[in-house]
């Protein structure tokens, strides 16, 4: 079971009639039906000219058809290339061209934009499937014998290229991270094993499937554990509450902002959310009070934090039973076969293990710069270990700024701000200063019903931090800019400053 097609077949045999995939309020598939439908998609792709090793781009929000498309692509022996749904046509065309995609599966209008219409004709690959034409596409399956699709699936090998996930490109051109089937499944199993995910679980996947967390710690984690996949296209608090109640959701990972949104929404009162059991989040700053609120007010029995990146997916993770301080202040211990160490020179987090990416697509120079001759990935994150080898990410190397000759790590300041009761979210960046070189500017979002006074925010920090670390200015915002994975886009704040 070291390839995705083999995992699909194993799930059909092992879990059979257990629920596998839900298209809320419409259709449902058990694992046997999921296998059959994935094979039907594979047959239609073969009839459409997709060959083993071809790259097929998938540009669509989370949905049942995303799941079926992805599994069909992999069962046809092709490589999956997910595209960020927030990308413009120009950005998507760049991914399609650089990946040399032979096929494109694309959503209809989404978030007010027609994705297909936004692509220049020169970027369109030989095969294009608009998802609104899904039923007509499946009719092509009749042109391919079932045995041919089965042979394609069986021919896939563990070291074959499974997926190419492009990084966000927020600090430069995006890079295509390549993973083999065995690696994508390896991190999926590790994540679900630590979380205790089983066939009894119903997993609401809000994290985008185009992201490594949504695809591997979401879709593939469900496939290997027998949990039910319940996709949600975009995070919308009332819709999420409805799905939790209607689908009896047990597993709901996401960024801290997801849980804050649920906790502070007035529509939560009186709703039946008692099915929730496992929350998994991660960020430089997860306040202890938020961990306690997720447990006490939302009813999660287990709250975990984890650390990973596209190049490694899941590198460390807390374990069930860890106390609030461990969950809030660390990202847990090494997971998924990874070794983790801290570089003596600059405190950079280094990773090595069997599930580390194969490399960056068509970019040996970038691969060599990221992975040293001894096989260690240089993550660009700064961190430290506690006495039990739990990793705490203290910041990004590139986020550090120097104030009056002293290094300031914004994550430390953001942790202090997270302790201020009225703060829902905070981000700190360095801005130019004639005397000190750079000083901190804090961008804060107030919780509903709270007001934040900039002077009081600065005073709060000065009481808890050395003077050079405290921000010199504060801007209160209605919201901060995020990418689709929930991370604050600090480069936008720096450009504005």
Closest by Cα among 251, 274, 261 to 205: 251
Check whether residue 73 and residue 49 sit in a common domain.
yes
CB 17 within 8 A of CB 43: no
Last residue of some domain: 368, 396, 424? 396
Shared domain for 327 and 460, answered yes or no, is: no
> pLDDT value at position 170?
45
| Residue 224 β-bridge partners | none
Are 485 and 255 a contacting pair, CB within 8 Å? yes
CATH of the domain at 176: 3.40.50.12780
Same-domain pairing of 170 and 273: no
Same-domain check for residues 104 and 175: yes
The segments of the chain whose pLDDT lies below 70 read 168-172, 283-285, 405, 484-485
Q: Rounded to the nearest 10 degrees, what angle do helices 410-418 and 454-464 cross at?
A: 110
CB atoms < 10 A from the CB of 100, how many? 12
The answer to the question of residue 336 being in a domain is yes
Residues 18 and 35 occupy one common structural domain: yes
CA angle 416, 418, 421 (to 5 degrees): 115
Q: What is the layout of strands, in order, in the sheet containing 79-82? A: 127-130, 103-106, 55-59, 79-82, 161-166, 176-180, 359-360
Predicted confidence at residue 284, as pLDDT, reads: 60
The radius of gyration computed from the CA coordinates of the chain, to the nearest angstrom, equals: 23
Report which of 235, 213, 229 is spatially closest to residue 71, judged by C-alpha positions.
Answer: 229
Q: Taking the C-alpha atoms of 179, 392, 209 and 63 in order, what is their torsion angle to the nearest 10 degrees?
A: 150
Q: Are residues 182 and 258 in the same domain?
A: no
Domain membership flag for residue 33? yes
CA–CA dist 427, 410 (Å, integer): 8
215 within a domain of the structure (yes/no): no
Task: Judge if 132 and 92 occupy the same domain.
Answer: yes
Express each pLDDT in 300-346 by its tens digit.
999 999 999 999 999 999 999 999 999 999 999 999 999 999 999 88
Q: In whole angstroms, how far apart are CA 39 and each of 128, 151, 207, 221?
A: 19, 11, 26, 20
pLDDT for the residue numbered 283: 64
Domain that holds residue 426: 400-496
Please indicate, yes or no, whether residues 79 and 107 belong to a single structural domain of this protein. Answer: yes
Q: Quick check: is 203 in a domain?
A: no
Cα–Cα distance for residue pair 119/127, rounded to 1 Å = 14
Domain annotation covers residue 205: no
pLDDT at 161: 98
356 occurs within a structural domain? yes
For residue 440, the domain's CATH number is 3.30.300.30
DSSP 122: G
* Total domains present in the chain: 3
- Based on the domain organization, do 82 and 47 belong to the same domain? yes
Determine, yes or no, domain membership for 439: yes
Same domain, 103 and 16: yes
């Amino acid at each position: 079971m070291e390839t995705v097609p083999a995992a699909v077949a194993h799930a059909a045999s092992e879990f059979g009639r257990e629920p596998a995939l839900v298209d809320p309020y419409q259709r449902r598939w058990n694992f046997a039906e999921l296998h059959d439908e994935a094979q039907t998609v594979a047959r239609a792709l073969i009839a459409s000219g997709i060959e083993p090793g071809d790259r097929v781009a998938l540009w669509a929000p989370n949905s049942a058809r995303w799941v079926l498309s992805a599994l069909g692509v992999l069962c046809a022996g092709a490589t999956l290339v997910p595209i960020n749904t927030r990308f413009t046509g120009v950005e998507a065309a760049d991914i399609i061209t650089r990946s040399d995609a032979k096929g494109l599966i694309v959503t209809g209008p989404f978030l007010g934009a027609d994705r297909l219409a936004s692509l220049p004709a020169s970027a369109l690959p030989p095969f294009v499937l608009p998802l609104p034409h899904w039923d007509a596409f499946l009719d092509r399956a009749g042109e391919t014998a079932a045995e041919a699709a089965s042979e394609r699936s069986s021919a896939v090998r563990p070291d074959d290229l499974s997926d190419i996930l492009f990084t966000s490109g927020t600090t430069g051109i995006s890079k295509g991270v390549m993973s083999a089937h065995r690696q994508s499944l390896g991190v999926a199993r590790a994540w679900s094993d630590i979380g205790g995910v089983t066939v009894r679980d119903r997993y609401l996947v809000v994290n985008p499937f185009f992201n490594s967390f949504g695809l591997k710690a979401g879709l593939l984690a469900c496939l290997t554990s027998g949990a039910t996949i319940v996709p949600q296209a975009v995070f919308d608090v009332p819709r999420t509450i409805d799905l939790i109640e209607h689908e009896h959701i047990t597993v709901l990972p996401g960024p801290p902002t997801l849980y804050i949104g649920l906790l502070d929404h007035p529509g939560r009162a009186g709703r039946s959310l008692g099915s929730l059991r496992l929350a998994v989040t991660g960020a430089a700053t997860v306040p202890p009070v938020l961990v306690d609120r997720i447990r006490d007010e939302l009813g999660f029995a287990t709250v975990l934090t984890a650390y990973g990146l596209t190049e490694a997916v899941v590198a460390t993770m807390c374990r069930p039973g860890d106390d609030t301080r461990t969950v809030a202040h660390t990202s847990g211990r090494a997971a998924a076969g990874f070794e983790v160490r801290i570089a003596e020179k600059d405190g950079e987090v280094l990773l090595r293990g069997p599930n580390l990416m194969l490399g960056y697509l068509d970019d040996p120079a970038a691969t060599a710069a990221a992975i040293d001759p001894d096989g260690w990935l240089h993550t660009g994150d700064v961190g430290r270990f506690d006495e039990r080898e739990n990793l705490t990410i203290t910041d990004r190397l590139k986020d550090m700024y120097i104030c009056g000759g002293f290094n300031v790590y914004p994550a430390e300041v953001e942790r202090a701000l997270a302790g201020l009761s009225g703060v829902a979210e905070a981000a700190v960046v360095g801005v130019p200063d004639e005397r000190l070189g750079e000083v901190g500017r804090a961008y804060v979002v107030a919780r509903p019903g709270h007001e934040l006074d900039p002077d009081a925010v600065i005073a709060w920090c000065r009481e808890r931090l050395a003077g050079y670390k405290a921000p010199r200015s504060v801007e209160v915002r209605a919201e901060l800019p995020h990418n689709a994975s929930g991370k604050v886009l600090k480069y936008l704040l720096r450009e504005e400053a």
